[in-house]
Amino acid sequence: MESTDQAGIPPVKLSEKSTFSFRCHKDVPCFTKCCYGINIMLTPYDIIRLKNRLQMTSEEFLAMYTTPQLLEKTDLPVVTLKMLGDVEGEPACPFVRPEGCLVYSDRPTTCRYYPIGVGTLNHKEPDEEGFYFFVNEPHCRGFEEDHQWTVADWREDQVVDVYDDVNALWTELLVRKRSIPANIMLTQKTKNMFFTASYDIDRFRRFVFESSFLEIYHLDKAEIERIRNDELALLNLSFRWLNWLLFKQGEFQMNEGAAMKRSSAGKPETTA
């Protein structure tokens, strides 16, 4: 599957209307071969779906199933799925079984899109619109099947729009960060905050409700109730907060009085 480091051959760009022949089913000779020796970058919503599926906390899921990496051209910390399995000597996805994917209905975004890759998560340059490309791995025989798709049909069939909608602001952050000159580096503290707010929703919840976050930042009562009870509302808050933290953009409001009080007391504004 697609890699976070795809230096080399530029991808052939596809649009939503591009067509291709493809079908993946249990009788293809390559069944599950795309689940070995792969590098799958996980999105924030992938982590939420998988950790809930496995009834784990985000901290437990991150520790057990992910490997941290820096995303090329952004200096931002991301995670990839850790290859814990072993199929005929090859490192394999921990969720692959001879009969298929153990977490199929909660499989990550990259697995849903495959055999298509997403430009915004991989190759997109800042002045380009979103685009897709074929991952083009020689072992994938699904292209020999005769079912015709457009990229738009494939996205609908694989229910990727739900994932893309939840992750939309986070994906924009990656794209915007790529547009900043590479020599502008983030501090380790900012990287840690990006990691927590992106991937570690249970830790981020504690950060919001158990630190002085709600004294420093202005959220109305209805939103506080929403983020207390709805994990996706909390995730959206984390993206908006990151947008404000990294780019000073968006409607995120800081309670100036509380910030000045903390600043004069010599305390950092935020600690994730």
Interface residue with ligand SF4 among 4, 20, 28, 261 (CB under 6 A) is 28
Could you give the angle at which helices 201-210 and 58-65 cross, rounded to 10 degrees? 140
- Identify the CA nearest to 235 among candidates 104, 58, 117: 58
267 backbone φψ class: left, alpha, beta (φ>0; ψ -120 to 50):
beta
Interface residue with ligand SF4 among 96, 135, 193, 201 (CB under 6 A) is 96
Q: Which stretch binds ligand SF4 (CB under 6 A): 5-13, 69-77, 90-98, 197-205?
A: 90-98
* 216 counts as binding ligand SF4 under rule CB under 6 A: no
* 227 counts as binding ligand SF4 under rule CB under 6 A: no
CB atoms within 10 A of CB 29: 8
Query: 22 or 207, CB closer to ligand SF4?
Result: 22
The minimum distance between CB 10 and ligand SF4, in angstroms, equals: 22
Helix residue ranges per DSSP H, the chain: 44-53, 58-65, 109-113, 119-122, 151-157, 160-178, 188-199, 201-210, 213-216, 221-229, 231-247, 256-264
Instruction: List Cα–Cα distances, 104 to 15, 108, 144, in angstroms.
Output: 26, 9, 23
Interface residue with ligand SF4 among 47, 62, 93, 151 (CB under 6 A) is 93
* 139 counts as binding ligand SF4 under rule CB under 6 A: yes
Interface residue with ligand SF4 among 4, 6, 24, 180 (CB under 6 A) is 24
Query: 39 or 57, CB closer to ligand SF4?
Result: 39
Q: Which stretch binds ligand SF4 (CB under 6 A): 9-17, 27-35, 127-135, 173-181?
A: 27-35
User: Are 204 and 196 spatial neighbours (Cβ–Cβ below 8 Å)?
Assistant: yes
Q: Write out the residues near ligand SF4 by the rule CB under 6 A.
A: 24, 28, 30-35, 93, 95-96, 101, 103, 107-108, 111, 114-115, 139-142
